[in-house]
Amino acid sequence: MYKRQRQAGGGYRHDYNWYDPSHVCPGDAPCDNAGHGTHTMGTMVGTGGIGVAPGATWIAAKGCESMSCSASALLAAGQWIVAPTDLTGANPRPDLAPDIVNNSWGGASGFDPWYSDVVRAWNAAGIFTAFSNGNSGPGCGTANTPGSYTGVYSSGAFDVNGAIAAFSSRGGGENGAVKPDLAAPGVDVRSSVPGDGYASYSGTSMASPHTAATVALIWAAAPRLRRDVAATREILDVTAADAGDTSCGGTAADNNVFGEGRLDAYAAVSLATSATGTILGTVTGPGGAIAGAAVTVSGPASRSATTGIDGSYRLGRLPVGSYELSVTAFGYDTHRSAVVVTDGGTGTADVALTASAAGLVSGVVSVAGEPAPGASVALAGTPVSVTTDSSGAYRLAAPHGTYQLEVSPLGGCAAGASRSVTVSGDITADVVLDQIKDASGYGCTPAQEPYRPGDTRLDLSGDDGAAEVTLPFTMPFYGTGKDHAWVSTNGVIGFAQETYAYGNTALPDAAIPNDALYPFWDDLYVDDSAGVYTASDADSFVVEWRNVRFFADETQRLSISAILHRDGRITYRYRNLTGERTRGTSATIGVENADGTVGLAYSYAQSSLIEGLGVTFHPGERNRIAATFNVHGETVWGQNVLVAGNVAELGGWDPAKALPLSADGYPTWSGSVSLPPDTPIEFKYLIRNADGSVAWESGANRTTTTPPTGQYITHDDFRS
């Protein structure tokens, strides 16, 4: 770099060495009204122990008016770097452009191409472009523009103990590229400040100067590399000390927290001045090129690479000497061979892998005795992953060995499971998933009953509307009986009140709506191509949202069938799913009690639906009470006593479905059944004769309300 030139008679000449596009500084002399630039420059070229490359010379462009930077000043400064001018802005000299440009600044997180033309010009001129990656961590996807560009070399920040700084922005970057490129010291960095003083600052602004100055050391030690940006980036990459934090994606060797690892200036300069060569080749198998194979060498240095889609790999900047080459790929035997690297040479090492002996792993995934379709079944640490079919079955192939079989169900009815399997041939590995239940005992399983359409259209259309419906029975739900409801256009069936809220939440949630079923709670719209329908019989009630669309997107539509059963079971089925959002990525699916304190979510804002599949919710034992009916009644041979009532458990007044009582205590007949708590019940006893005819006891229906907990027991006399 070039420093400000001292005149023979004293003073400095600032032409071609200083640029202030916003004219912040008085006169023509450089100034620093923020202290930030002086600190970063001291880290690069300062003396007395603060500078990485104290012998380097420098120039500067003031792209920031203060601690903030205008786009116009940054663009003007970027142009000036390529071709510095005199103090009047005239007579540009591209030959006086710097070798390296450090940028300890950045904008918002993400990729914004507004500075791309400047970066392209710098790279075309052979200027090494260093940027801070940003101070927006610790979240993933926080790399700042332009640090997120693939055309720049960006630095994250670590502390004196080698730990990544919480503020250090994480990647990925442009087009999913790993960012930062590496991490450098950036916490409590001591350097110069205006006024002949020193201070300790923290930030990726402090990290990037370490990287930029390391490039200056490399180019000073190995002049042949000057302006060879690609080779220099490679040296920095391969000499960085790996730091395996994959919390934001990537690998142990190259990830979105540390990039290639921690900057090692000594290793980088040592490699730049060493005799090196390259190994490259292609990895193939019986079926052709193998992508994703791991290629490693060990010897004077240890390096690794992954083959591309065409099976090719390259390991550059290897110190000369003898190495062992190892190639591994899932499904193939490991290959090992010896290779020699010569100074400046390029050795070719093509590898043909042999397929490993393999076996088939198959089985059925289930939850609560029901098959679990749509579950992901994978072998941990391998690329093998399959999905269970409609019967919960799966089948995969794997080389001989021991693996961890990982099962992840579709939706929230069950917890995931992991088990060890050893493959030495074909094996069967069934997996039973643990069912998830809420505090009231509600659980769910994949639905077995089919989609049921409605046949009677409700007067319900447009946006955010609701219609009241009457159930043909009393359905137990979280300890109470429900015989009417309000159906919302937004995929909700509410029992407590009319509701048409469109802003869905996770379950449970104390905010209204509560005491509801959520077959598909989202911002839906019932237009002229859609409708809401009902259907019913003695034991079930159906609500169907047919071909409904999303309020903000008429191109995505789906149909939903909610089937309410007399015994408290609730099934949701789905069909004609068109578009990603119909998979549930913005919806709430589940059930919830009256005050929003207990509920079971099948899913919330996640892809959990597949065409043709559904979910059934089952009331748990904690949502029932034990009822015992005892009635004194004398009969003749061939007669039996039963009890019938208005709930499904007592047959819904259908003698063919009535609860039979036992004569073990004759002349007292007894029988037990589970009933919904705190629910009005009507019932009567009847006698079934040997020929199938029935005789009801006389008098009015018996009535009671089941207790909220515990048991209900009768001691009755049959009324002749």
Last residue of a domain, one of 621, 643, 672: 621
Residue 269 lies in a domain: no
DSSP alpha helix (H) spans, 46-140: 71-82, 116-124
Q: Mark whether 155 and 197 lie in a shared domain.
A: yes
Residue 595 domain-assigned (yes or no):
yes
Q: Which CA distances in Å does 533 have to 46, 258, 524, 538, 602? A: 78, 56, 15, 18, 24
Cα 584 from Cα 565, distance rounded (Å): 24
* Predicted confidence (pLDDT) per residue in 515-541, tens digit: 999 999 999 999 999 999 999 998 899
Residue 80 confidence (pLDDT) above 80: yes
Kindly report the pTM of this predicted structure: 0.66
25 inside domain: no
The CATH number of whichever domain residue 367 belongs to comes to 2.60.40.10
Phi, psi of 29 (to 5 degrees): -80, 145
User: Using an 8 Å Cβ cutoff, are 63 and 73 in contact?
Assistant: yes
| Average pLDDT, integer, range 291-318 | 95
Region 602-614 average pLDDT? 94
DSSP notation for 439-455: TT--EEEE--SPP----
Query: Tokens for 340?
Result: 């020699």
Q: In whole angstroms, give the CA distance from residue 33 to residue 62.
A: 10
- Structure tokens that stand for 627 in this block: 């009822």
Q: What is the pLDDT of residue 648?
A: 83
| 591, 457: one domain | yes
Considering the domain boundaries, does residue 223 fall inside one? no
Give, in degrees to the nearest 5, the angle at Cα 297 between 295 and 301. Answer: 140
Q: 469 and 589 in one domain?
A: yes
What is d(CA 507, CA 504) in angstroms, rounded to the nearest whole number? Answer: 9
CA torsion sign, 130 to 136 to 140 to 145? negative
Distances (CA, A) of 573 to 450, 518, 613: 7, 12, 6
CA distance 554 to 463: 13
pLDDT at 626 over 80: no
CATH of the domain at 156: 3.40.50.200
Give tens-digit pLDDT for 26-68: 988 899 999 999 999 999 999 999 999 999 999 999 999 999 9
pLDDT of residue 152: 98
- Tokens coding 54: 């104290």
Share of the chain above pLDDT 70, in %: 98
pLDDT band, residue 478 (cuts 50/70/90): confident
What is the mean pLDDT of the segment spanning 90-105?
A: 97
Task: Give per-residue pLDDT as tens, 484-516.
Answer: 899 999 999 999 888 888 899 999 999 999 999
Residue 622 confidence (pLDDT): 60
Give the number of domains in the chain: 5
> Which is it for strands 711-713 and 614-618: parallel, antiparallel or unpaired?
unpaired
Q: What's the pLDDT band for 3 if we cut at 50, 70, 90?
A: very low
pLDDT (average), residues 292-321: 95
Query: Are 371 and 510 part of one and the same domain?
Result: no
Residues 54 and 111 in one domain: yes
Residue with tokens 């006893």: 685
What does the alpha-carbon distance between residue 145 and residue 113 come to, in Å, rounded to a whole number? 8
Is a pLDDT exceeding 70 seen at residue 431? Answer: yes
Those residues whose C-beta lies under 8 Å from the C-beta of residue 217, and which sit 6 or more positions away, are 52, 53, 265, 268, 269
- State which of 330, 352, 374 marks the end of a domain: 352
Claim to verify: residue 578 and residue 548 sit in the same structural domain: yes
Confidence of residue 211 (pLDDT cuts 50, 70, 90): very high
Q: Which residues make Cβ contacts (< 8 Å) with residue 207, sequence separation at least 6? A: 132, 133, 155, 156, 157, 158, 168, 183, 184, 185, 186
Look at residues 321, 352, 383 and tell me which one is the last residue of a structural domain. Answer: 352
Are residues 477 and 496 in contact, defined by beta-carbon separation less than 8 angstroms?
no
Longest dimension (CA), the chain: 134
Q: Sorting pLDDT into bands at 50, 70 and 90, what band is 9?
A: low
Per-residue exposure over 271-299, b if at least 16 CB sit within 10 Å of its own CB, e if not: bbeeebbbbbbbbbbeeeebeebbbebeb
Q: Where is pLDDT greater, at 24 or 539?
A: 24
Flag whether 143 is in a domain. yes
- d(Cα 141, Cα 126) in Å, to the nearest integer? 29
pLDDT at 201 over 60: yes
CA dihedral angle for residue 488, residue 493, residue 498, residue 501, rounded to 10 degrees: -60
Q: Is residue 39 domain-shared with residue 144, that is, in the same domain? A: yes
258 in a structural domain: no
Helices and strands in the chain: count of H runs, count of E runs:
6, 53
642 & 613 share domain: no
- Distance CA(123)–CA(228), nearest Å, equals 10
| CA–CA dist 123, 112 (Å, integer) | 18
Neighbours of 362 (CB within 10 A): 17
Cβ burial of 640 (10 Å; 0-12, 13-18, 19+) is: middle
381 and 523 housed in the same domain: no
Give the count of beta carbons closer than 10 Å to the beta carbon of residue 265.
19
Q: Quick one: which H or E segment has residue 373?
A: none
Say yes or no: 420 and 511 in one domain.
Answer: no
Nearest to 143 by CA among 191, 192, 181: 181
584 part of a folded domain: yes
- Residue 704 and residue 397: Cα distance in Å, rounded? 60
Question: Is residue 322 situated within a structural domain?
Answer: yes
Cis peptide before 84, with omega less than 30 degrees from 0?
no
Are residue 132 and residue 42 in the same domain, yes or no? yes
> Which residues are CB-neighbours of 137 under 8 A, at least 6 positions away?
164, 165, 166, 167, 168, 169, 170
Higher pLDDT, 472 or 118: 118
Higher pLDDT: 608 or 9? It is 608
Considering the domain architecture, whether residues 628 and 612 belong to the same structural domain is answered as no
In terms of residue numbers, what domain contains 553?
Answer: 443-621
**pLDDT value at residue 113:** 96
Nearest to 453 by CA among 576, 616, 555, 554: 576
Encode pLDDT of 657-696 as tens digits: 899 999 999 999 999 887 888 899 999 999 999 999 999 9
CA-wise closest residue to 130 among 38, 272, 263: 263
